Amino acid sequence: MNFTAAGTTHIGFVRKKNEDSFFCEPESHVYAVADGLGGLPFGDLASKAAIQYLELWTNARRSEDWSGIHWPTFMKELNQHVIETGRISAHGLGIGTTFSLGMIRNDTLEVSHIGDSRIYLCRKGKVEQLTTDHTLETFARQRKQVPDDAEVPEHYKHTLTQCLGQRELIKPQFEDHQLLSGDRLLFCSDGVSGYVSPKDLEHTMTARNDPQATLDYLVQAVLDNGAPDNVTGIVVFVE
């Protein structure tokens, strides 16, 4: 299989700074989006710390055998790095960021995820969310505290139950997904997923024939909807 990809970030029209970061390296087939928590100080520093750690890790691994990767250990070490960054820079208040990583090995997407950024798989025109949002809404619905068809207060949708940088004990999501020729992947912050409808997302992911054009169209759709949050995405085509 061959893989082509494009990534971008945009500050949007409301936020004063961009607290999103991303990593897109088709050569090593490593992709990630991080969204710093705006309710904590230095959200931009938190997301950058996570992505810079990933970049250093990828550079070190590039000259080695990619086998033997243990994603729970990677996420534990990454989380500790963000915690230490917060201790140094945030005067004891701590920092936090989401982190959604996908690495493609042997035609398999290996997912490591925490927070509410998302990874989507588009296959045969249908879009499926591969990651689980670690939010108060998800927590309440999983425990049947809220009926599946009931609305929840708006803050339930944005209050995270897990992120990097706040506590040492975390339970990220780890999954493997076999990829097929023709699949398309989207990694994005909630500044994208929160402002494009599922129907529009399916149309956008299938209407164009290269990752950059697909991503450009998607970002423009979010900007046309006002872009109240930072806008970050990566599109990967499997051929």
Cα separation, 45 vs 90, whole angstroms: 10
List the end-to-end C-alpha distance of the chain, in Å, as a whole number.
6
Mean pLDDT of 135-162: 81
pTM recorded for the entire structure: 0.94
- Using 50, 70 and 90 to split pLDDT, how confident is the model at 144? confident
Give residue 99's pLDDT. 98
pLDDT in the model for residue 63: 67
Total domains, the chain: 1
Q: To the nearest 5 percent, what fractions of the chain are helix, strand and coil?
A: 35, 30, 40
**Nearest by Cα to 107 from 58, 187, 31, 176:** 176
CB 101, CB 32: distance < 8 Å: yes
Tens digits of residue pLDDT in 178-215 = 999 999 999 999 999 999 999 999 999 999 999 999 99
Q: The domain spanning residue 198 has which CATH number?
A: 3.60.40.10
Q: Please give the mean pLDDT across all residues of the chain.
A: 92
In this prediction, residue 152 carries a pLDDT of 77
Average pLDDT estimate for 230-235:
98
- Two tokens, residue 215: 């991503």
> Domain span at residue 222?
3-238
Residues in the chain: 239
